[in-house]
Structure 1
Amino acid sequence: MGELEQKMHDFAVELKFEQAAAVRNQISALAGVLQQQAVETDSDNNADILAIAMQGGRVCVNLAMVRGGRHLGDKAYFPEHTENASALLDLPLADSDMPPADSELAGAESAEAAFIREILEAFIGQYYLNHTMPPTLIVGGGNVNRQLIDLFAQQAGYRVSVVYQPRSQKRIWLSMAEHNARLALAQLLAEQGSQQARTRALAQMLLPECGDLAALRIECFDISHTMGEATQASCVVYCQHKMQPAQYRRYNITDITPGDDYAAMRQVLTRRYEKHMTQAVRARDELAVAQEVTSSDDKAAQAVPVRILPDLILVDGGKGQIEVARQVLVELGLDIGILVGVAKGEGRKIGLETLVFADGRSPVALGKDSAALMLIAQIRDEAHRFAITGMRAKRAKARQSSQLETLEGVGAKRRQRLLARFGSMRGVREASIDELASVEGLSRALAEQIYRQLH
């Protein structure tokens, strides 16, 4: 293992990242073998510990791993879709085996135990699909279905013992896991509270009529390129008090003067909200048809909302960018009151940004201690990060393709074979003449010619 790690390090220093990655995969495979050996030869001191904590409408399942008697650390997981059991989530876990004081409490504890069992079984069913279950599973909080355990034990190839009331050292492990579960959940709730406070501060300042803060939707746009090359626009989404990566979108910007950020912003906003308008018109038409065949007294059918825009559109830029954005929204017949530009402050320092409005309101400098500005900066920085990563990938692909295309004697099929053999343009560049000549369709003379062109 030590020799492989040194070899991987040497490759990385020499910038031979593909070779380093291959060695890394060897290390990972060897680590899996060593762990499996430890599980098979020292089963009594190899265990996973599952502890659960519930508070504030959220649940935490904490997984602690012990291998060879050594505690390797914890990882906290926060199951989603637990809102149906919100009445149970704030019930304290029983610290003793004392019977409940009355039948009502007994019913509550029974419901709580069923809920905990459901959470634990769901976690076990998902986690151990991709991880080997150790010979011992220490579970705190409730019993789990033995058939589920036996299923994963059969997959592992040995019997798994489930311990619900551990003693001595195993009890210490479980106590640590329970303590860490409570800490992780408290941290999550504190972070969520802070994020919700930021959402509330932003809504109070910019959207005072917003009723449902959780449903508040913000879309933010940024443009990125390198001296006009590989221009990309990003759109990131904030909703439910957090960023929504699954809803992010990148837009390749074409047919503009290189480096023209205004034209790029016009193009991305037009493409984004023309689509929204088309969907809205279709939805309204469908709603009109539905109303025609529905009784006029059916208020529910007539009250279906049609969402066209987010509650707030943020644009990374000052007056110039916001003016272009304003023009696009006016052309599309959309409300410009939800359009806000985030202009960078002096020295581009965080906390000195100024908000610029499309509807004529005076610019506002919130100050570095503003909770609303913290949220705006978070969303703006995420849009910038998302745009840059996309731009760099596009640029690298374009440069790789263009450099290969300049090689004399190398057509489309040979380019494809070179990339398949060496993985990237860097791999082709680092290949020796002998390695190039080993590619199907390349003679020794052509390999020497390619090598000279690249060096």
Structure 2
Amino acid sequence: MTEFSDSSARAVFDHQSFLKTLTPKPGVYRMFGDDGDLLYVGKAKNLKNRVSSYFRARGLTNKTVALVQRIARIEITVTHSETEALLLEQTLIKTHRPPYNIMLVDDKGYPYIFLSSEQQWPGLHLHRGARKKKGQYFGPFPSASAVRESLSTLQKAFKVRQCEDSVFQGRSRPCLQYQIKRCKAPCVGYVTEDEYADDLHKTELFLTGKNQDLLNDIHRQMDEAAAELKFEQAAEYRDQVLLLRKIQEQQHVEGKQGNVDIIAAVYEGRGCCVHQLMVRNGRLIGSKTHHPKPGIAETAEELIEAYIGQYYLGATGREIPPEIIPVPNLGADSISVLSQALTESAQRKVTLRGQVRGDRAKWRDLALTNATEQLAMHIAGKDSVEARFRKLEEALKLPEPIQRMECFDISHSHGEATVASCVVFDRQGPAKRLYRRFNIEGITGGDDYAAMQQALTRRYSRLMKEETPLPDLIIIDGGKGQLGVAQEVMAELGIQPRLLGIAKGITRKAGMETLYLDDAQHEIVIDKHSPGLHLLQHIRDESHRFAIAGHRARRDKTRTRSLLDDIPGIGNERRKALVRHFGSGIVVKSASVDEIAKVKGVSRALAQSIYDFLHSA
């Protein structure tokens, strides 16, 4: 490579003199400010043409004008090809993080699931960094939370140990994971080597995407266990089938083959979003959303081109899949350069494919939909949630900011199947992973006070036992009576959180609520147009929705004998085939016509008849 630079740093950059001597060869240019700080790094197929474009009188965006006004000097590095320039550009961006370049908020490498092979009883673990240990690495996954979700699923289904080796070796009796049926306790010899090896084999099939082979194995074992009258073991295999079917539904799209990353970019005036779907062995294993700083990029195409280059080429140790689908599609020149650079970096062929069909078209549409929705939520969240929290704090005259609040509600049908909900909001909005439901038992049907007392006692006695921080505000969807119950529970537990009761008022209309802070004597009125009241209405409505959903599920579970019993044209054998394929009648009802038609012995017409019957009942 050959380097050139404008050696004199001036308040006003003499671009005309600089451009006269600039080469038309490919390379990288670096723009510096008066203080010597690197402002921007770019690559060019023709350095003279590309750098000259920044100093034209027309057609520049406001961001580009602001960048040009700060330039004190420009340095260039000539390269042999545009591909080499792209690789150097991403290395410089990663090293110096210039303010006018697109920067990822979270650019850590993908985590993996590691299955050890050196021990007698191998274990599953989350792994980051170099892959030097002996064993199998499955992934990569889009985030640590995706790994933990997969590990939790595997723990429920196949019970392979996930404890650290130091903990495993020091056990003399089973741990809590054995008690809650998440592990078979190989640490104390409660499982045979053959049985554990079978669980490991199923785990490998799941992680490599061989779901149909896995289901066939489990069905065979279930039939054998049932034939030998080992009904408890057969029920365990049935539960594994149910769990696998549920996972396939959650993945929504499932192709037959392919290791593909689908990257969709959406750019609007108030923000941008890049959504990345990861498909391994034809199975959608997860997704990840980025809200990068766009730098001087003005279109989704510019954003996604810079993102792909920085993400795959600007970090070491990051896996590059053999196929990448950008959404929107890039120009032919950009695809050619990126493909060549990625191929060189991966040391195998990497294809960027814009025109796709079949499963890949579904993945493309799904990625674009997610990017659009994530950007809308990101913009709305930034604008409204923080402001609503501040307005609520002002209205309640709270001395400290609310970092977390929880709201409770009760739902039942004339005392049947009572369920209490606990909904959690933080400064980002609803924290749905922290939501909880409580099936209320041992009370007189319809006694909402007793139900609220049980839910609050169970919730906060557990938080105290686990030494989890309590919420800053506890909201009770009810009037003075429910608030009084909450006061009694808190006094009995010996804690003093702030309490807020919400009574709907005589008209039961939104905006006419009566609020009680801490006790029934402190009534508070908030203007119906206040964002603080809207936040309370949001969390109240969310707790109400969550409680009703839990109540209906519990009620239906006790009332329904079988959804498949009365379907015309379905005899005993076909009913067994449906249950064997889906696991239960409820899952059949949630399936599409195409999914039902995959069952052995069920034609397309019969599948449509089953679907129509279940959805008309």
> TM-score, normalising length from structure 2?
0.39
CA contact (8 A) 2:407 2:543 kept: yes
Q: Supply the distance in 1 between the matched residues of 2:264 and 2:479 (Cα, whole angstroms).
A: 51
Q: Supply the distance in 2 between the matched residues of 1:250 and 1:133 (Cα, whole angstroms).
A: 40
CA contact (8 A) 1:235 1:249 kept: yes
Give the superposition deviation at 1:357.
Answer: 2.5
CA contact (8 A) 2:274 2:371 kept: yes
Give the superposition deviation at 1:351.
Answer: 1.0
Residue of structure 1 in register with 2:481 after alignment: 320
Give the superposition deviation at 1:189.
Answer: 2.4
- Residues 393-408 of structure 1: pairs in structure 2 closer than 5 A: 393-401=553-561
2:329 aligned with 1:146: no
Q: Structure 1 residues 62, 114: CA separation in 2 closer, same or farther (over 3 Å shift)?
A: closer
Q: Structure 1 residues 261, 138: CA separation in 2 closer, same or farther (over 3 Å shift)?
A: same
Percent of matched pairs sharing the same residue: 39
Residue of structure 2 in register with 1:199 after alignment: 389
Moved more, 318-327 or 348-357: 348-357
CA contact (8 A) 2:562 2:585 kept: no
CA contact (8 A) 1:49 1:138 kept: no
Q: Deviations over 1:274-315 (max 9, x none)?
A: 1122233xxxxxxxxxxxxxxxxxxxxxxxxxx641000001
2:562 aligned with 1:369: no
CA contact (8 A) 2:405 2:424 kept: yes
Q: Supply the distance in 1 between the matched residues of 2:398 and 2:493 (Cα, whole angstroms).
A: 25
Q: Supply the distance in 2 between the matched residues of 1:321 and 1:148 (Cα, whole angstroms).
A: 67
Q: Structure 1 residues 342, 153: CA separation in 2 closer, same or farther (over 3 Å shift)?
A: farther
2:296 pairs, out of 79, 92, 108, with 92
Give the superposition deviation at 1:423.
Answer: 3.7
Residue of structure 1 in register with 2:511 after alignment: 351
Residue of structure 2 in register with 1:254 after alignment: 441
Q: Structure 1 residues 210, 389: CA separation in 2 closer, same or farther (over 3 Å shift)?
A: same
2:378 pairs, out of 177, 185, 188, with 188
Unaligned runs of 5+ in 1: 1-24, 37-47, 64-75, 83-88, 96-111, 164-176, 281-306, 405-414, 429-455
Residue of structure 2 in register with 1:79 after alignment: 290
Q: Supply the distance in 2 between the matched residues of 1:227 and 1:344 (Cα, whole angstroms).
A: 20
Q: Structure 1 residues 416, 189: CA separation in 2 closer, same or farther (over 3 Å shift)?
A: same
SS, match of residue 138 in structure 1: coil
2:310 pairs, out of 113, 117, 133, with 117
Q: Deviations over 1:17-70 (max 9, x none)?
A: xxxxxxxx9xx99x989xx9xxxxxxxxxxx884465998x751279xxxxxxx
SS, match of residue 326 in structure 1: helix
Q: Structure 1 residues 333, 240: CA separation in 2 closer, same or farther (over 3 Å shift)?
A: same
1:276 pairs, out of 450, 459, 463, with 463
Q: Structure 1 residues 248, 126: CA separation in 2 closer, same or farther (over 3 Å shift)?
A: farther
Q: Supply the distance in 2 between the matched residues of 1:188 and 1:135 (Cα, whole angstroms).
A: 20
What is the identity, as a one-letter code, of the residue corresponding to 2:297?
Answer: L
Q: Supply the distance in 2 between the matched residues of 1:355 and 1:225 (Cα, whole angstroms).
A: 24
Q: Supply the distance in 2 between the matched residues of 1:382 and 1:148 (Cα, whole angstroms).
A: 51
More helix by share: 1
1:342 pairs, out of 494, 502, 510, with 502
Give the superposition deviation at 1:160.
Answer: 3.8
Q: Supply the distance in 1 between the matched residues of 2:450 and 2:526 (Cα, whole angstroms).
A: 29
CA contact (8 A) 2:275 2:288 kept: yes
SS, match of residue 257 in structure 1: coil
Residue of structure 2 in register with 1:210 after alignment: 400
> TM-score, normalising length from structure 1?
0.51
Q: Structure 1 residues 148, 256: CA separation in 2 closer, same or farther (over 3 Å shift)?
A: farther
CA contact (8 A) 1:322 1:357 kept: no
Give the superposition deviation at 1:331.
Answer: 0.7
Give the superposition deviation at 1:328.
Answer: 0.3
1:264 pairs, out of 451, 457, 464, with 451
Moved more, 394-403 or 137-146: 137-146
What is the identity, as a one-letter code, of the residue corresponding to 2:501?
Answer: G
SS, match of residue 60 in structure 1: strand
CA contact (8 A) 1:366 1:373 kept: yes
Q: Structure 1 residues 326, 187: CA separation in 2 closer, same or farther (over 3 Å shift)?
A: closer
What is the identity, as a one-letter code, of the residue corresponding to 2:449?
Answer: Y
Q: Supply the distance in 1 between the matched residues of 2:513 and 2:348 (Cα, whole angstroms).
A: 54
Q: Supply the distance in 2 between the matched residues of 1:148 and 1:61 (Cα, whole angstroms).
A: 24
Give the superposition deviation at 1:354.
Answer: 1.1
Backbone CA RMSD of aligned residues? 5.3
2:491 pairs, out of 299, 317, 330, with 330
Unaligned runs of 5+ in 2: 1-248, 277-286, 300-304, 356-366, 565-574, 590-617
Q: Supply the distance in 2 between the matched residues of 1:135 and 1:362 (Cα, whole angstroms).
A: 55
Q: Supply the distance in 2 between the matched residues of 1:382 and 1:344 (Cα, whole angstroms).
A: 15
Give the superposition deviation at 1:187.
Answer: 7.2
Q: Supply the distance in 2 between the matched residues of 1:52 and 1:418 (Cα, whole angstroms).
A: 42
Q: Supply the distance in 2 between the matched residues of 1:135 and 1:324 (Cα, whole angstroms).
A: 54
CA contact (8 A) 1:59 1:78 kept: no
